[in-house]
């Protein structure tokens, strides 16, 4: 069996190998095959654009929350959360220092409000925990922001810092959250059905209870995407044109795609954006 860029070419009589998939890998191909190729196949990796401010906000909040749970119990205070956020804050993508500092203060407010509503003694089962599961065709893996114990069940918690309040439909439809449920069940060998999106800016939680059927639907879709990736990769290995095997799918997503500098169709599809333009509404400067 040949292994080509993570895809396997099956030979008659040989057992089928599993496609190694992460939610972000499958999502990249689903959004745009060319983006997948740039991210996972092209080496050296094509030039990427600059960092985005909204990603700096999200990364800092995630890192601060992970570190907060790693503190000894008496140290898990709102003030500590603020301090942790300030310690990991990056100015990457912001217009200037003044904008970065305003957003740092705003994110610190979300974070302190959020941890104020947590019970610091309610130890998570895991934070940024790597989990994995297999299906008939996939070896799925991913990293879960937080895994809570609620009664006899484990709950997948995903932190969100984007502009929009999350909905229960998003929790139901998220391929990543479904993959995490499968991974938690397999890795931790305990029941898990509930997924939650914790949107820090609004302090809201969107949730869904997965069933065998909803998970099977997600698995089927993920396996379909993986089959398409394997076919495209095999075509590339067979000499197909790179842009035909992994065609560009220009659209709104080109506005924030990291590979825009390397992609003429993407640049033609959308105007370039300031790296801070995906922040939610900009809070006014203090007077
Ligand atoms: S810029 Fe658009 S078309 Fe080009 S790789 Fe990114 S998402 Fe695909």
Does residue 238 belong to any structural domain of this protein? no
Residues 156 and 210 occupy one common structural domain: yes
CB of residue 37 inside a 6 A radius of ligand 1: no
Does residue 225 belong to any structural domain of this protein? no
Does residue 249 belong to any structural domain of this protein? no
Structure tokens at 12: 């008659």
Among 27, 35, 273, the mutation site with the greatest number of ligand 1 atoms within 8 A of its Cβ is 35
CB of residue 253 inside a 6 A radius of ligand 1: yes
Residues 109 and 184 occupy one common structural domain: no
Percent of the residues in the chain that have a pLDDT greater than 70, as a whole number: 92
Which of 163, 197, 217 corresponds to the end of one domain? 217
Does residue 284 belong to any structural domain of this protein? no
pLDDT of 3-30, one tens digit each? 333 444 455 666 678 999 999 999 999 9
Residues 172 and 95 occupy one common structural domain: no
Residues 133 and 112 occupy one common structural domain: no
Does residue 160 belong to any structural domain of this protein? yes
* pLDDT confidence of residue 14: 67
In the chain, the number of structural domains is 2
SS (H, E, C) 167-230: CHHHHHHCHHHHHHHHHHHHHHCCCEEEEEEEECCCCEEEEEECCHHHHHHHHHHHHHHHHHHH
Does residue 193 belong to any structural domain of this protein? yes
* pLDDT confidence of residue 285: 53
pLDDT of 60-76, one tens digit each? 999 999 999 999 999 99
Residues 84 and 151 occupy one common structural domain: no
Residues 64 and 105 occupy one common structural domain: yes
Residues 79 and 131 occupy one common structural domain: no
Does residue 17 belong to any structural domain of this protein? no
Residues 92 and 137 occupy one common structural domain: no
The CATH number given to whatever domain includes residue 188 is 3.90.320.10
Supply the residue whose CA is at minimum distance from atom 7 of ligand 1.
Answer: 254
Does residue 73 belong to any structural domain of this protein? yes
Residues 110 and 161 occupy one common structural domain: no
Which of 192, 217, 242 corresponds to the end of one domain? 217
Q: Can you tell me the mean pLDDT for 231-251? A: 97
Taking alpha carbons only, the member of 257, 277, 275 closest to residue 267 is 257
* pLDDT confidence of residue 280: 76
What residues make up the domain containing 191? Answer: 126-217
**Phi, psi (rounded to 5 degrees) for 270:** -140, 150
Alpha-carbon dihedral 83, 88, 91, 93, rounded to 10 degrees: -130
CB of residue 266 inside a 6 A radius of ligand 1: yes
* pLDDT confidence of residue 11: 59
Residues 110 and 57 occupy one common structural domain: yes
Supply the residue whose CA is at minimum distance from atom 1 of ligand 1.
Answer: 266
Ligand 1 centroid vs 25 CA: distance in angstroms? 15
CB of residue 111 inside a 6 A radius of ligand 1: no
| Rg of the chain on CA atoms, in Å | 21
CB of residue 199 inside a 6 A radius of ligand 1: no
């Amino acid at each position: 069996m040949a292994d080509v860029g993570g895809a396997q070419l099956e030979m008659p009589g040989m057992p089928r190998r599993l496609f190694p998939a992460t939610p972000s890998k499958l999502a990249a191909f689903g959004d745009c095959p060319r983006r997948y190729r740039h991210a996972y196949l092209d080496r050296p990796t094509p030039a990427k654009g600059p960092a985005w401010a909204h990603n700096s906000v999200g990364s800092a909040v995630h890192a601060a929350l992970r570190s907060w749970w790693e503190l000894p119990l008496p140290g898990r205070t709102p003030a500590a959360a603020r301090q942790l956020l300030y310690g990991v804050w990056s100015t990457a993508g912001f217009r200037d220092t003044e904008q970065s500092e305003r957003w740092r203060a705003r994110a610190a407010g979300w974070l302190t409000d959020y941890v104020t509503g947590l019970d610091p003694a309610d130890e998570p089962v895991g934070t940024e925990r790597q989990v994995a599961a297999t299906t008939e065709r996939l070896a799925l893996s991913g990293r879960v922001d937080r895994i809570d114990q609620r009664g006899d069940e484990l709950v997948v918690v995903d932190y969100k810092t984007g502009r929009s309040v999350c909905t229960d439909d998003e929790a139901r439809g998220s391929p990543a959250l479904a993959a995490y449920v499968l991974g938690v069940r397999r890795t931790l060998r305990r029941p898990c059905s509930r997924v939650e999106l914790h949107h820090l800016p609004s302090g809201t939680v969107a949730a869904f209870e997965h069933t065998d059927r909803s998970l099977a639907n997600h698995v089927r879709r993920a396996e379909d995407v993986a089959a398409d990736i394997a076919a495209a990769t095999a075509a590339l290995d067979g000499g197909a044109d790179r842009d035909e095997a992994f065609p560009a799918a220009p659209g709104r997503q080109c506005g924030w795609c990291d590979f825009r500098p390397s992609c003429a169709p993407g640049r033609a599809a959308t105007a370039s954006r300031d790296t801070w333009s995906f922040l939610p509404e900009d809070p006014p400067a203090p007077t």
